[in-house]
């Protein structure tokens, strides 16, 4: 899976033969009812994809024409229609599939019988199945109904809804008519292709089955809702040995005692049910190697019967789990949680912990923490008073908070290498499957290298908050923006002749600099290659890399800006008081001087604000900004550039670029219509790109949706929540762009987010109408955000 350069071959990794692994389930005895239910889910909900190698599913760009109702749902099942568009629509609107769960109980037997009157067998199957349709069932059937590319994209929507991503699950095999266990790396590629998350994995012994391992997660990760987790009893047998992935943050008061306490991000791998050699054992071993924290659940029944017999280690869950790899066991922090039926008796709980501690002391495991928890299954909670439940909850929160504070403090001292990519797990998994006799204790981590990341490090490693980043990375846009700014000042009739002379000199100087610095540079070449030649995964790696790069500087600058804001507010209060004092005392000399000093101080703070904003803009390097530079580059090559400096076959290169940018729009990538300061919009490359969008949906008219509102009135958030678009949300920034959508099969939608109504927005509307389609087939809708 590596190139000759030593970098990972992403294309080979995400190929079907390497991204999907199937295991037979001969070791599992399914009864007829369980098999029938499993088949019903996939057949009735149409959880199959005929051509999984196809490109992205159009459901991501489809706005459902008719809201889901009980009648509509039953009709879809009856007509063998996929529920996929409604599941995606729910996720795009951040409804977390709750809206679908509201509909399911409304599907009564009488209504179903009436709609399916010619198919009583289908009616019975649907009614037998409906109460067992959980969020996980809907997600798995949706995943299986899509192409591999769509599966990768769907995982981002699942993550944004704070739901658990199914990493492995059971599916019916149409060829063998058997149920198989499926490990699907496509489900975690995009959220974890490059990450700064710590890896957390939890699993339990056979005796902890249905004890509530997953239900304990909200006591460890307090931002997790019950709805985020796969804990429904109705599909518990279909989760056994399966793995879900979800994301969370833990506040750590131990990290340098900072205020407010910093957060530590985690990717959580939740192993349901049993650990078995036939299904998930090798995947767990591959994952465990990169974990920062592992939680191992046991009960008193797991205490070894004979401490003298060393052969019992093979049957001892703890010793067997800890010895998967000596490399991981010496670095990973292990929390052993003993499910204790006497949890309310703290003295007995302490005795139980000491019993296990004394037995396993001979192994001298480092970084190990012992604690207990009450069983959280419904049977164990029967008869427990509300008072006891609250006491247990408070105690659990406190004990896990203390443990994780200690873990984070020690991890900071050790400066552990964090988990970087899900490709690390995949790269470890395949050698294990190929060699069943491998010595697991000698497993070592693979340091994943990406060619794109190496290039990014070379390009951005030398940049900082002290370098002229906009001038270096986006020179054409930078100089054009500066020139337009000066031209705007020159057009101001109130400008004095002296100032005009200075501005004219600056204009000539900037034009000269632009001629010298507007040639094709390494940043242009990188961005063109990224869009034209690389995978979407490379684009995501670039996005994550730039986010990490910005994090070095943006938080401190924002703190500095906040302090300046507080200082300004204090001085404004003092200024208002001083103004009242001057009016009251009749222009007293000392009072007037004090008022003058305050005005000067406020002017100084305002200048400081401008400097900080300029610094923030200087480090706000994004893919969108670099894409804007390509629009400017095309204009330069079309008109200003000397023939000797042009790219070979530059028209062909940019035609390909326009097509690929249009394809990115289908994945929620927003094209900036208005760009730079002062705002500009016209671009021949944008014309080419928009025409590519229109080609894809030439069966109906396009609709331009314009959202108009004041600054920071949540316009981008409105579009993201309504249409599932991907506009960058950044308070105080002008995020203006277009996103393609589709309603039914009748027309496409292009939404434009506008910061305020101005002359530029009128020009944009005319530009869109003239380039998208003929005026007769264009509809325009405006939404005002207040």
pLDDT tens string 206-235: 999 999 999 999 999 999 999 899 999 888
What pLDDT sits at residue 778? 45
pLDDT in tens, 166-214: 999 999 887 787 899 999 999 999 999 999 999 999 999 999 999 999 9
Same domain flag for 55 and 177 = yes
pLDDT at site 638: 81
Identify whether 2 is part of a domain: no
- Tell me the pLDDT tens digit for each residue of 726-764: 666 665 555 555 555 555 444 455 565 555 545 555 555
What would the DSSP string read from start to end of 612-654?
Answer: HHHHHHHH---HHHHHHHHHHHHHIIIIIS-GGGSPTTHHHHH
Instruction: State the average pLDDT over residues 108-122.
Output: 91
Q: Which element (helix H / strand E) includes 1?
A: none
Q: Cβ–Cβ contacts within 10 Å for residue 400, how many?
A: 23
Q: Region of 270 please: left (phi>0), alpha (psi -120 to 50) or beta.
A: beta
User: Does 103 fall in a domain?
Assistant: yes
SS3 330: coil
**Domain ranges, residue 496:** 449-647
Number of C-beta neighbours around residue 381 at 10 A: 15
Report which of residues 183 and 717 the model is more confident about. Answer: 183
Domains contained in the chain, number: 4
Q: Running DSSP on this structure, what letter comes out for residue 25?
A: -
Parallel, antiparallel, or unpaired: how do β-strands 263-271 and 198-204 relate?
parallel
Residue 656 domain flag:
no
Whether residue 370 is found in the same domain as residue 246:
yes
Longest dimension (CA), the chain: 98
* C-alpha–C-alpha distance, residues 279 and 23, integer Å: 6
The answer to whether residue 657 is domain-embedded is no
Task: Assess whether the previous peptide bond of 316 is cis (omega < 30° from 0).
Answer: no
Residue 498 token pair: 């002296």
Question: For 534-577, how does the pLDDT look when each residue is reduced to its tens digit (9 = 90+)?
Answer: 999 999 999 999 999 999 999 999 999 999 999 999 999 998 99
Q: How far apart are CA 170 and CA 179, in angstroms?
A: 6
Task: Clarify whether residues 382 and 394 are in a common domain.
Answer: yes
Percent of the chain with pLDDT over 70: 83
Average pLDDT of the chain? Answer: 84
**Which of 543-552, 655-664, 774-783 is the least confident region?**
774-783
Residue for token digits 């079907």? 16
- Rounded distance, CA 212 to CA 217, Å? 9
Does one domain contain both 352 and 453? no
The phi, psi pair for 620, rounded to 5°, reads -85, 60
What mean pLDDT comes out for the span 683-697? 75
Q: pLDDT at residue 19 above 60?
A: yes
Rg over CA atoms, the chain: 30
CA separation for the pair 429, 19 (Å, rounded): 11
Does 521 lie in the same domain as 408? no
- 628 with 526, same domain: the answer is yes
pLDDT in tens, 44-74: 887 778 677 667 777 787 778 789 999 999 9
In the predicted model, is pLDDT for residue 424 greater than 70? yes
- Domain assignment present for residue 373? The answer is yes
This prediction has a pTM of: 0.90
Distance CA 714, CA 718 (A): 6
Calculate what percentage of the chain has a pLDDT beyond 90: 51
Decide which of 438, 459, 485 is a domain's last residue.
438
Q: Is 4 among the domain residues?
A: no
Angle at 608 between CA 467 and CA 476, to 5 degrees: 40
CB 668: neighbour CB atoms within 10 A?
Answer: 21
DSSP-derived secondary structure letter, 701: -
Can you name the residues that pair with 738 across neighbouring β-strands? Answer: 671, 752
- Does some domain include residue 5? no
- Residue 296 tokens, joined: 């191992």
DSSP alpha helix (H) spans, 371-442: 378-381, 386-414, 422-434
Calculate mean pLDDT across residues 410-415.
74
Asked if residue 41 lies in contact with residue 133, where contact means CB atoms within 8 angstroms, the answer is yes
Phi, psi of 714 (to 5 degrees): 65, 35
Point out the domain boundary residue: 160, 193, 226: 193
Query: Are both 186 and 199 inside the same structural domain?
Result: no
Same domain, 404 and 460: no
The residue among 264 and 697 whose pLDDT is bigger is 264
H or E element at residue 780:
strand 779-785
Spatial separation of the C-alpha atoms in residues 553 and 615, rounded to whole Å: 9
- 598 and 678 inside one domain: no
Residue 84, number of CB atoms within 10 A of its CB: 24
Burial of 36 (0-12, 13-18, 19+ CB in 10 A): middle
Measured CA to CA in angstroms, residue 582 lies from 408, 533, 574, 587 at distances of 56, 68, 12, 5
Q: In angstroms, rounded to a whole number, what is the distance separating the alpha carbons of residues 332 and 319?
A: 15
Query: Of 325, 561, 558, which Cα lies nearest the Cα of 445?
Result: 325
The DSSP H or E segment spanning 177 is: none
416, 438, 460: which is the final residue of a domain? 438
Residues forming a β-bridge with 780: 704
- The pLDDT of 300-319, averaged and rounded, is 76
E strand intervals along 277-352: 293-299, 333-339
In what side-by-side order are the strands of the sheet with 168-173?
20-24, 178-184, 168-173
Which uninterrupted H or E stretch holds 335? strand 333-339
Let me know whether 132 and 199 are in one domain: no
Are residues 181 and 198 part of one domain? no
**Which of 118-127's residues contact partners 24+ apart within 8 Å by CB, and which partners?**
119/78, 122/44, 122/77, 122/78, 125/36, 125/40, 125/44, 126/40, 126/44, 126/74, 126/77
Q: How many CB atoms sit inside 10 A of residue 711's CB?
A: 11
> How far apart (Å, rounded) are the C-alpha atoms in residues 9 and 217?
35
Give dist(CA 719, CA 211) in Å, integer. Answer: 42
Q: Do 112 and 71 belong to one domain?
A: yes
Angle of helix 475-490 relative to helix 623-635, nearest 10 degrees, comes to 70
Say which residues have a Cβ less than 8 Å from residue 442's Cβ, sequence separation at least 6: 325, 326, 327
Stretch 642-663: mean pLDDT, rounded?
Answer: 79
DSSP SS3 for 171: strand
Is 470 inside any structural domain? Answer: yes
Alpha carbon of 708 to those of 44, 679, 718, 730: distances in Å?
43, 16, 11, 16
* Residues 749, 62: Cα–Cα separation, whole Å: 9
């Amino acid at each position: 899976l590596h190139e000759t350069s030593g970098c990972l071959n992403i294309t080979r990794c995400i190929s079907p033969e390497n991204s999907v692994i199937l295991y037979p389930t001969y070791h599992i005895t399914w009864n007829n009812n369980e098999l029938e239910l499993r088949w019903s889910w996939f057949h009735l909900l149409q959880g199959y994809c005929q051509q999984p190698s196809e490109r992205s599913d159009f459901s991501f760009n489809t706005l459902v024409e008719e809201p889901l109702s009980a009648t509509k749902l039953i009709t879809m099942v009856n007509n063998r229609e996929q529920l996929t568009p409604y599941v995606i629509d729910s996720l795009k609107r951040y409804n977390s599939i709750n809206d679908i769960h509201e509909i399911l109980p409304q599907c009564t037997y009488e209504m179903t019988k009436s709609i399916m009157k010619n198919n009583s067998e289908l009616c019975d199957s649907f009614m037998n199945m409906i109460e067992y349709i959980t969020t996980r069932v809907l997600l798995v059937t949706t995943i299986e109904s899509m192409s591999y590319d769509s599966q990768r994209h769907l995982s981002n929507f699942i993550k944004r809804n704070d739901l658990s991503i199914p990493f492995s699950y059971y599916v019916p095999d149409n060829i063998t008519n058997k149920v198989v266990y499926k490990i699907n790396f496509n489900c975690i590629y995009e959220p974890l292709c490059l990450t700064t998350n710590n890896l957390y994995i939890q699993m339990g012994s056979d005796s902890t089955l249905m004890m509530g391992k997953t239900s304990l997660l909200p006591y460890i990760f307090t931002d997790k809702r019950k709805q985020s987790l796969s804990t429904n009893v109705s599909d518990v047998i279909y989760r056994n040995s399966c793995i879900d992935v979800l994301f969370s943050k833990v506040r750590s008061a131990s990290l340098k005692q900072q205020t407010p306490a910093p957060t530590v991000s985690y990717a959580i791998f939740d192993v349901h049910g049993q650990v078995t050699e036939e299904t998930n054992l090798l995947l767990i071993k591959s994952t465990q190697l990169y974990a920062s924290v592992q939680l191992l659940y046991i009960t008193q029944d797991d205490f070894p019967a004979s401490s003298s017999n060393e052969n019992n280690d093979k049957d001892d869950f703890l010793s067997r789990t800890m010895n998967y790899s000596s490399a991981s066991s010496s670095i990973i922090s292990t929390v052993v949680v003993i499910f204790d039926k006497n949890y309310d008796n703290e003295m007995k709980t302490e005795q139980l912990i000491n019993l296990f501690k004394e037995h396993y002391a001979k192994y001298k495991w480092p970084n190990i923490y012992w604690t207990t928890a009450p069983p959280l299954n419904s049977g164990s909670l029967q008869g427990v008073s509300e008072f006891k439940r609250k006491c247990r909850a408070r105690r659990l929160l406190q004990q896990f908070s203390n443990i994780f504070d200690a873990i984070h403090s020690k991890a900071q001292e050790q400066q552990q290498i964090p988990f970087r990519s899900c490709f690390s797990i995949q790269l470890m998994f395949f050698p294990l499957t190929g060699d069943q006799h491998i010595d697991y204790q000698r497993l070592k981590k693979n340091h994943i290298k990406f060619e794109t990341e190496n290039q990014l490090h070379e390009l951005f490693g030398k940049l900082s908050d002290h370098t002229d980043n906009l001038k270096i990375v986006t020179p054409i846009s930078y100089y054009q923006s500066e020139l337009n700014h000066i031209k705007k000042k020159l057009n101001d009739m109130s400008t004095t002749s002296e100032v005009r002379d200075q501005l004219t000199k600056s204009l000539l100087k900037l034009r000269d600099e632009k001629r010298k610095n507007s040639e094709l540079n390494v940043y242009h070449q990188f961005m063109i290659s990224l869009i034209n030649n690389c995978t979407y995964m490379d684009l995501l790696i670039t996005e994550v890399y730039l986010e990490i790069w910005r994090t070095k500087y943006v938080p401190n600058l924002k703190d500095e800006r906040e302090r300046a804001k507080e200082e300004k507010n204090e001085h404004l209060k003092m200024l208002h008081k001083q103004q009242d004092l001057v009016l009251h005392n009749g222009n007293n000399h000392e009072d007037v001087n004090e008022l003058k000093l305050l005005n000067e101080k406020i002017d100084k703070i305002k200048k400081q604000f401008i400097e900080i904003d300029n610094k923030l803009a200087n480090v706000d390097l994004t893919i969108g900004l670099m894409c804007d530079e390509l629009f400017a580059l095309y204009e330069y090559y079309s008109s200003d550039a000397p023939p000797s400096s042009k790219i070979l076959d530059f028209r062909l290169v940019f035609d390909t670029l326009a097509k690929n940018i249009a394809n990115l729009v289908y994945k929620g990538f927003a094209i900036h219509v208005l760009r730079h300061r002062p705002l500009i919009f016209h671009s021949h490359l944008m014309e080419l790109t928009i025409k590519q969008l229109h080609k894809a949906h030439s069966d109906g008219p396009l609709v331009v949706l314009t959202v108009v509102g004041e600054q920071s009135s949540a316009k981008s958030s409105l579009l993201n929540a309504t249409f599932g678009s991907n506009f960058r949300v950044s308070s105080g920034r002008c995020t203006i762009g277009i996103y393609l959508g589709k309603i039914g099969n009748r027309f496409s939608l292009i939404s434009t987010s506008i910061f305020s109504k101005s002359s530029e927005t009128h020009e944009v509307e005319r530009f869109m109408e003239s380039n998208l389609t003929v005026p007769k087939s264009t509809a325009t809708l405006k939404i005002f955000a207040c």
